[in-house]
Amino acid sequence: MKILDEQIIYQATDEQILGELHDRLVRMRRSCCFSQQELADLSGVSIATIKRIETQRDKDISLIVLIRLLRTMTQMEGIGTLVPEVPESPFLAMKDGTTARRVSSKRKRL
């Protein structure tokens, strides 16, 4: 079962998705022929962090660590799909042509 498949991902738990991401990072590092130490040296991420990620003891990978690892392994192509660009909501348009900077919690019910 491919946990990150579009049809299955919403049924998977957060832990299952995180586990799959951890596994993919390990496979990616190995396919680049990097040891953990080499990846740490090239990316600027500590070897302890890399070991915690790969053994799934680190449940909270920061985005900057993820970007550094992906950049070092030349795997940045998919980063844009992580948080896709979304068009501006027409509901945020103001009467004067500007765009609201935040959404009010006091929404008008239709």
**How many other CB atoms are there within 10 angstroms of residue 53's CB atom?**
23
In a domain, 75, yes or no: yes
Which residues touch 92 (CB under 8 Å, ≥6 apart)? Answer: 99, 100, 103
The domain that holds 43 is classified in CATH as: 1.10.260.40
In a domain, 25, yes or no: yes
Query: Which tens digits make up the pLDDT trace of 59-110?
Result: 788 999 999 999 999 999 888 888 888 877 766 666 676 766 666 666 555 4
Helix and strand tally (H, E) in the chain? Answer: 5, 0
pTM equals: 0.73
Which range marks the domain in which residue 39 is found? 14-82
Name the 3-class secondary structure at 76.
helix
In a domain, 72, yes or no: yes
Q: How many separate domains does the chain show?
A: 1
In a domain, 51, yes or no: yes
